[in-house]
Amino acid sequence: MNKKLRTQVGIRKYYTIFLELGIISSLLIFIAASKIRIQSSQDNELSLVTNREVVKMEDVIKTKQEKRPPAPPRPQVPVAVPNDEIVQEEIPNINAEFQFNEPLEIPAPPKQIEVKEDKEKEDFFIAVEQMPKLKGGLKELQSKVVYPEMAQMAGIEGRVIVQFIVNKKGEVENPKVIRGIGGGCDKEALRVAKLAKFVPGRQRGVPVRVRYSLPIMFILQK
């Protein structure tokens, strides 16, 4: 019994030494194993390179369109002309007799067309030293206006401008409406303008014809 106890005590004593030796030996084996290169045989190598298809690019030949000349026109079919007709040639009469001793007849000259000059020229003034003056004033002339019924019913109102010539006697000539409003007011304005009397305009102290514009008002009473 004493011999077995001794052996057990010796094993326990060297237990840590054996453990360290085992760990060291296992580490050495692990390091040696990691440094060993494992190479496969050449026969068993796998070829990872795949065969690629080679694509050949062919040159594209450009086609040219040839310009062909147009086809010649078709020949005209000749039309048969009958040769039975006889063409008579006219022979001019060259045997005409000329008498050089007789006087030649000279044709009469063309009639001259008489051009009538327009005598009615614009012999009036637009602005003079003393413009025409309306006798009685515009208010008196405005009182002679009769408002047309058509314009009243349609509600037409405004100003009609009449233009005319005041002659040397102060009378109205050729009145015309240059701005109207319709509804019969233009006609009434012409009638009233013809009733107007003026002191004639003067240029350098001499009575002259003057163009004059006169406004005629049409206002509805509300």
Q: Is the residue at 50 inside a domain?
A: no
Q: Is the residue at 84 inside a domain?
A: no
Q: Is the residue at 145 inside a domain?
A: yes
**Domain holding 182: CATH number?**
3.30.2420.10
Residue 7: which domain range?
2-30
Q: Is the residue at 204 inside a domain?
A: yes
Give how far the C-alpha of residue 62 lies from the chain's centroid of Cα atoms, to the nearest Å: 45
Q: Is the residue at 171 inside a domain?
A: yes
Q: Is the residue at 175 inside a domain?
A: yes
Residue 127's closest CA among 215, 206, 201? 201
Q: Is the residue at 6 inside a domain?
A: yes
Q: How far is CA 193 from CA 10, 156, 201, in A?
A: 162, 20, 17
Helix, strand, coil percent values for the chain (each to nearest 5): 25, 15, 55
Q: Is the residue at 182 inside a domain?
A: yes
pLDDT per residue as tens, the chain (222 positions): 555 656 666 666 677 787 888 888 888 888 887 777 665 555 455 455 556 677 777 776 777 777 778 877 777 766 655 555 555 555 555 555 555 566 656 666 666 555 444 444 568 999 999 999 999 999 999 999 999 999 999 999 999 999 999 999 999 999 999 999 999 999 999 999 999 999 999 999 999 999 999 999 999 887
Total domains, the chain: 2
